[in-house]
Structure 1
Amino acid sequence: MTKIHPSAIVEDGAEVGEGAIVGPFCHVGPKVVLGEGVELKSHVVVAGETRVGARTVIFPFASIGHQAQDLKYRGERATLEIGSDCILREGVTMNAGTEGGGGRTVVGDRCAFLANSHVGHDCILGSNIVLSNNVMIAGHVSVGDNVIMGGGAAVIQFTRVGAHAFVGGLAGLENDLIPFGMVMGNRARLSGLNLVGLKRRNFPREQIHALRAAYKELFESDDGTLHDRARTVKAANPDVPLVQQVADFILEAGDRRMCTPRAAND
């Protein structure tokens, strides 16, 4: 049964799904859609054309769906889509898109956004992502599935973060991060593969070994450019999906810079 606290404001036009709970002092805008079983704990504001997936829980003082923090925004139509079974803890902020970025911000399913984390306009996030406390993602960032970001990490606009990557706490990421990669530091540098994540997700041992060998070829060899080495490891590992995924990510980068290991003399 849907429950709306007497002190909450749900504007005419908003859609509240079966079994949803809108707690004390929440404000739900007229173009918002709350899926089945969504819970707004209290003092939550959901604005704009925002759709929240089933069973997602949003904690106090979260600000969801307001206009982009972009000085070029001129009031154009923009949306925010949040998947099912997500957790948005206290003070989380998520902005809708802009015309220049496709007009939509998208978050997948089963994601956890810890206190005071931020998702900027026009970001496209996959599923099973964890943003720890105070993580800041600027506009136009894409993040693959199963990514974890440590507390206080920051990602600059237009950056791509590959699936299963790990961003260490307080890292400042300004270049693209390969799938399965791990970065540390400010500015962030590639520090190896996310082997813990690979093992936890039960990837086959032989594929992990092949990925480690490909990583050495990509980032510890001086033969040709990084794109040349990506083509080499891709051709040498046609039946290893993990290697193919990393090689394709690099080859699709175009002129974008990749996050690489710190040089010995840095």
Structure 2
Amino acid sequence: MAIDPTAEIHPSAIVEAGAVIGAGCRVGPFSVIGPEVTLGAGVEVKSHAVVTGWTEIGDETQVFPFASVGEVPQDLKFAGERTRLVIGRRNRIREGATLNTGTEGGGGITRVGDDCLFMTGAHVGHDAQVGDRVIMANDSALAGHCIIGDNVIIGGLSGIHQFVRIGRGAIIGAVTMVTNDVIPYGLVQGPRGRLDGLNLVGLKRGGVAKEDISALRAAYQELAQGEGAFQERARRLAEEDTDSAYVRDVVEFVLGASDRSFLTPG
């Protein structure tokens, strides 16, 4: 066990031998820290939380009461192999949220970036890859193997099907089931999620230039109404050699490798 002398561990907390607790960490009452856990500097684990498994949590992340971080995957194929969960810096993991380690078949690691917010009851499944500044609202869930880009927002009570990719800057409405890939900056809503435009509010709040927003709108219209299959339309966009990095993000995403099909514009 390696506990930095500046860390504060409540007497009722259990920190198992082998855990690494960084400078300025705080571990609250009745919390459990497993033997293969590493907490970076300034991490706070509040009361009644469990951090277990081969788990690394980055600096200044907060884990709130009754969260379960680093437990084994909810995958019937899991056979006890040694897999990991790596969480970045300054994340907030709220009450009752669950984040699982990976599986051997999925690459062995679940990874979360920096500055994310996982609200009450949110779930991150095995082998998911979550970018930076992602927000998962209350009781939303990522199934195994999902890939979530930076700055994505997932509304409350929404579910993301296994192997789905969600491109950067997309927004998923509340109470939505997403079964196929979502283009960057897309807006998805409805009980059986449909692509219903662009996340214009997010783009404007993010300070994206009007020229790029206009280019994205034009690209979206071409994807929605052009001739041929969805990927054929994306290939034509690629041939136009656009100056907009945002349009290139969309094109590269659509033409990239995926285990799912796409939510397409209605």
Common fold, TM-score beyond 0.5? yes
Report whether the alignment pairs 1:197 with 2:215: no
Q: Which residue of 2 aligns with 1:243?
A: 247
Pairing partner for 2:231 from 210, 227, 241: 227
Question: Could you report, residue by residue, the CA deviation over 1:166-218 in whole angstroms, capped at 9, with x for unpaired residues?
Answer: 00000100000000001001210001000001111111110110110000000
Letter of the 2:262 counterpart: M
Contact kept, 8 Å, 2:65 with 2:94, in 1: the verdict is: yes
Report whether the alignment pairs 1:126 with 2:140: no
Report whether the alignment pairs 1:171 with 2:151: no
Contact kept, 8 Å, 2:113 with 2:133, in 1: the verdict is: yes
Residue 254 of structure 1: how far off its partner (Å): 5.4
Q: Which residue of 1 aligns with 2:11?
A: 6
Report whether the alignment pairs 1:213 with 2:218: yes
Measured in 1, the distance between the counterparts of 2:54 and 2:171 equals 31
Q: Which residue of 1 aligns with 2:260?
A: 256
Contact kept, 8 Å, 2:22 with 2:39, in 1: the verdict is: yes
Pairing partner for 2:94 from 89, 92, 103: 89
Contact kept, 8 Å, 2:223 with 2:265, in 1: the verdict is: no
Measured in 2, the distance between the counterparts of 1:37 and 1:252 equals 38
Corresponding residue SS for 2:222: helix
Q: Which residue of 2 aligns with 1:158?
A: 163
Pairing partner for 1:139 from 129, 139, 144: 144
Count of paired positions: 261
Which ranges in structure 2 are unaligned for 5 or more consecutive residues? 1-5
Q: Note the 1:9-158 alignment, pairs <5 A.
A: 9-158=14-163
In the superposition, the TM-score normalised over structure 2's length comes to 0.96
Measured in 1, the distance between the counterparts of 2:90 and 2:11 equals 26
The CA RMSD measured in Å over matched residues stands at 1.0
Which ranges in structure 1 are unaligned for 5 or more consecutive residues? none
Aligned residues with identical type, % of pairs: 51
